[in-house]
Amino acid sequence: MEEKKLNRNLSFLFFSVYWVLACYTPFLLLYLQDRRLSYIQIGIVLALNSAINILFQPLWGYLTDKYISIKKAAYISAIISALAVILFTLAHEFYGIMLSIVLFVIFQSGLLPLMDSLCYKIAHNYSNIKYGKIRLMGSAGYAFSSFFLGMVIARTSIDIIFYLYSLFSLFILLFLSKLNFHEENTQQEKSKIKPLEVLKNTGFMIFLLSVTIGSISYGANNSYIGVLLQETGGSTQNLGLLWFIVAITEVPIFFVINKLIARIGSLNTYLLSLALFSIRFFLCTLWKNTGIIIMIQFLQGLTFPLFMAGGLDYLCGLVPVGARSFSISLMSALIFGLGALIGNLAGGIIIDSFSIFSLYRVISAVSLISLAVALTLRKRKPLKRMD
């Protein structure tokens, strides 16, 4: 009974967190365009967003491994980001927007890796709670929120997303409060943990290098897919539909991802995702039709879930339980931070100098480079767990 209740509340928590996230991430580009920023300025703002993720996501993970509980850190992240997001409605110039990004993302950046760490920590103690089935609720929340917001923005203004972010954050706090789970490590035990030790492992670092390179293409796509849609004749409402499709196609894959990983292994699942990313991005260069571009996004269900779940499962097999929050946060910082930063900056330059279609050819090739790096891991002996 306790396990069922915990599973239900954790599922609703993921749904709420990703619903709230969709009030920011998919429409950030639209907000920056509404403020009449150039593509170079947009690239700088998106890069700043990524840079803060790089700096602060590992810090959130380190703090929870060493000092405070994941749940307490999640409360801090959710409450302060819900207040800071309102600054975007007051910012109308380039530097004001940059200041808003800094103050908001410092706290918001911790939310997703904290949720992943929390889920893996709970799943470690409850055999019937699986990451994939919990994470699919996040994809569902993101999908329905994106679709809903696309229609709302079309009838109001872009600023509405920031007010809704604050409002819907109340649900995060509600389900966090219902999550009755006590971490097994005492404060004294936490002080003995050395999360940074994982950085000495060569295989772990090669894996992170592949993740970073792959995230360059993933980050550029996330930031500039709205431009691709506009260049092929799409509208704001189409953007909401596109993000709905992107997220909803993840749901069935996350539902069966644990079986896939058990069948072919976490590393092979991760490798498959990189190959499919390359194919998906290349297909986006072949047509200039909005409908076809939206249809191609159905491949999201075969790319990101495999990338994230396969990568996380492989990572958790490499590191001790006591260093998982830091390791997961570091991986998240590379995906949504460093890789995205490079993708955002380079993407803005490529679009300004060439075209959006040139960008998608480049990121297709980058995905193949990431795959080549990750293939070297198959020749290495599996790392021993240090639980």
Q: How far apart are CA 338 and CA 315, in angstroms?
A: 18
What is the value of pTM for the model shown? 0.77
Q: How far apart are CA 364 and CA 375, in angstroms?
A: 17
Q: For residue 178, give both structure tokens.
A: 């219902």
Whether residue 276 contacts residue 303, with contact meaning beta carbons closer than 8 Å, is answered with: yes
Q: How far apart are CA 13 and CA 21, in angstroms?
A: 12
Burial of 2-23, coded b for 16+ CB within 10 Å and e otherwise, reads: eeeebbebbbbbbbbbbbbbbb
In a domain, 187, yes or no: no
- Per-residue pLDDT reduced to its tens digit, 170-188: 999 999 999 887 665 544 4
Tell which residue, 38, 169, 52, has the closest CA to residue 100: 52
In a domain, 185, yes or no: no
Whether residue 183 contacts residue 121, with contact meaning beta carbons closer than 8 Å, is answered with: yes
In a domain, 87, yes or no: yes
In a domain, 298, yes or no: yes
- Per-residue pLDDT reduced to its tens digit, 308-365: 899 999 988 888 777 778 888 888 888 878 888 888 788 888 998 899 999 999 999 9
Whether residue 151 contacts residue 164, with contact meaning beta carbons closer than 8 Å, is answered with: no
CATH code for the domain of 92: 1.20.1250.20
pLDDT band of residue 236 (cuts 50, 70, 90) is low
Q: How many domains is the chain partitioned into structurally?
A: 1
pLDDT band of residue 83 (cuts 50, 70, 90) is very high
In a domain, 110, yes or no: yes
* Domain membership of residue 7 as a residue range: 2-180+194-379
- Per-residue pLDDT reduced to its tens digit, 115-172: 988 888 888 777 788 888 898 899 889 888 988 888 898 889 899 999 999 999 999 9
How high is the pLDDT of residue 185?
Answer: 54
In a domain, 384, yes or no: no
Tell which residue, 115, 97, 114, has the closest CA to residue 49: 97
Helix axes 131-155, 236-248, angle to 10 degrees: 170
Cα 233–chain centre separation: 27
How high is the pLDDT of residue 29?
Answer: 85
Q: For residue 61, give both structure tokens.
A: 């993970």
In a domain, 134, yes or no: yes
In a domain, 189, yes or no: no
